[in-house]
A and B are shown apart, each in its own frame.
Chain A
Amino acid sequence: MRNMLRKEFKLAMHPIAIIFLSFSAMLLIPNYPYYVAFFYLGLAVFFTCLNGRENYDILYSISLPVRKKDIVKARFLFVIILQLSQIALAIPFAILRQNLPVPCNQVGMEANIAFFGLSFVLFGIFNLVFFRIYYKDVNKVGKAFLISSIVVFLYIMVVESCTHILFFAKNYLDTKDTYYLKEKLIVLVVGMLIYSITTLIAYRKSVKDFEALDL
């Protein structure tokens, strides 16, 4: 699997993925729907899969002494590494943003612990929708990205609206980390659990779909 991962990073990855990782710095924007910064990583996955289609990545991979499910596993691990890297890179910017001498985020959720929990859910939703479509037909990358983007934006709209409408979200979650830490940590843990479960389901279904796919 280590070799397949090397192949993912050295041959398959679209270089723009690295640039999108730096979008974690968007958490420094004073007023912004911060989830959008994480949406861009979906675009990086899309470009990598599109690039793969144009460069016969799957045909090359399958000619190597690996099984079809190894190809899916490597792609999932690659995406998980990118997603966790983006979260890790965003943490210092979130801390910095909370300590900036400017008012709280007026547009949506604060860049706090609960935000990261809800961002994990965003990544989980993306993985579930994108890969379920992609591995049914690896040539329909655009369809997978379009539908997953719509679902992810609907999710962003719902959670950001909740920040303005729901009492709990507005008064407990959309605050600096010094307040209601316990509630935020619960959201983070639940978010991580949802991410793990949805990604695992997406992986298992993708393996099954890809095994059945005629190339």
Chain B
Amino acid sequence: MSILEVTKLKKKYPSFELGEISFSLEEGKITGFIGRNGAGKSTTLKALFNYVHPDSGEIAFLGKRFLEHELEIKQDVGLVFGGINYYSKKKIKTITSINKLFFKDWDDNAYREYMKLFCLDENKTPSELSEGMKVKFALVLALSHNAKLLILDEPTSGLDPVSRDELLDVFNNLCEKGITILFSTHITSDLEKCADNIIYIKNGKILENGNMKEFVTSYKILNLKEEQITEEIKPYLIGCKRAKEGYTALIKEEYTKNINIPAMEADLEAIMIHMEKEEM
């Protein structure tokens, strides 16, 4: 049984459509939810918790449908929105004193340990914390009620590289403890550091959903001169775009043998850039 199963989730807005989103999360793994700004990442995550009402589709956490088991599910899931600081002028200890009332598995010892681990001071207010510390505080609240699944919407956006790296280390540690993490981002390097699986969304549709390493190794990058872009190789090229010298394009690994041009390893950023370029 997967910890989260999303089936044919659809939501239509006047200017945007989230089309049949289906994915599931492997327990104890980190899954990166990637896509450019406006691709539908936040809408999908909000739809999981009925913040936005899907037009159709099924959402089940640990085999339980969300709408029928909302309260039980919320006890087991931690939802963290990056860049949002609740009650910015209230002391952290005041926010915590209220937050803990709602969770039957709240663990004061765990709370104190995580606060210490993340060097958070209870007497500060969220407005006095850096962006990274705010995310860490949100994580502390989620972890102190023993959340089995953490869903994080752009937790690393707006953080400096060092804070991002620290946070990704935290994710890896949590993953080792068996906690499942789904986090959305448009920063590809974050995923390369910690994600086991990847869900790639573009214009409201899922392009890829699977193992991160397999996904990255399934593509190669070509550096091309203009005269090399012949009608013969064009069908194999994905997102051919201008580079400083010549052109670059993505190609599926299995097609590299069909062309006589050396292909290089692709990283996630290059894959994403070329995929976004395609069909524009």
Task: Name A residues whose Cβ lies closer than 8 Å to a Cβ of B.
Answer: 3, 6-7, 10-11, 55-57, 59-60, 62-68, 212, 214-215
Contacts and interface: CB of A to CB of B under 8 A. Distances in A.
Contacts of A3: 98, 101-102
Interface of B: 46, 49-53, 70-72, 74-75, 79, 81, 84-90, 94-95, 97-99, 101-103
B51 A215 contact: yes
Contact of B46 (A6, A7, A64, A215): A215
Contacts of A65: 70-72, 74-75, 102-103
B98 A214 contact: no
**Interface of chain A, main secondary structure:** helix
Given A60-B86, A66-B74, A214-B46, 16 more contacts: A3-B98, A11-B87, A55-B86, A55-B88, A56-B84, A62-B49, A64-B99, A64-B102, A65-B70, A65-B72, A65-B102, A65-B103, A67-B70, A212-B53, A214-B51, A215-B51
Contacts, number: 61
B74 to A, nearest CB: 4
B71 A214 contact: no
A60 B87 contact: yes
Contact of B86 (A56, A66, A215): A56
A55 B87 contact: yes
Nearest to B43: A214
A170 to B, nearest CB: 49
Given A55-B86, A60-B87, A214 B52 contact: yes
B88 A214 contact: no
Given A55-B88, A60-B86, A66-B71, A6 B52 contact: no
A55 B84 CA distance: 8
Contacts of B50: 68
B86 A59 contact: yes
Nearest to B84: A56
A59 B74 CA distance: 14
Nearest to B98: A7
B97 A10 contact: yes
Contacts of B79: 63
A215 B81 CA distance: 13
Tell me which of A57, A64, A65 has the highest count of chain B C-beta atoms within 10 A of its own C-beta. A65
Contacts of A64: 74, 99, 102
Nearest to A9: B98
27 contacts: A3-B98, A3-B101, A6-B101, A10-B98, A11-B95, A11-B98, A55-B86, A56-B86, A59-B51, A59-B81, A60-B86, A60-B87, A62-B49, A62-B51, A63-B74, A64-B74, A65-B74, A65-B102, A65-B103, A66-B71, A66-B74, A67-B70, A67-B71, A212-B53, A214-B51, A215-B51, A215-B52
A16 to B, nearest CB: 14
- Pairs A-B, 4 closest by C-beta atoms: A65-B74, A214-B52, A60-B86, A3-B101
Contacts of B88: 55
A57 B87 CA distance: 7
Nearest to B145: A65
Contacts of A57: 86-87
A127 B103 CA distance: 31
Contacts of A11: 87, 90, 94-95, 98
Nearest to B79: A63
B29 to A, nearest CB: 23
B53 A214 contact: yes
Nearest to B72: A65
Contacts of A68: 50
Nearest to B81: A59
Contacts of B74: 63-66
A6 B97 CA distance: 10
Contacts of A60: 86-87
B98 A6 contact: yes
A146 to B, nearest CB: 26
Contacts of B103: 65
Contacts of A56: 81, 84-86
A38 to B, nearest CB: 28
A62 B48 CA distance: 12
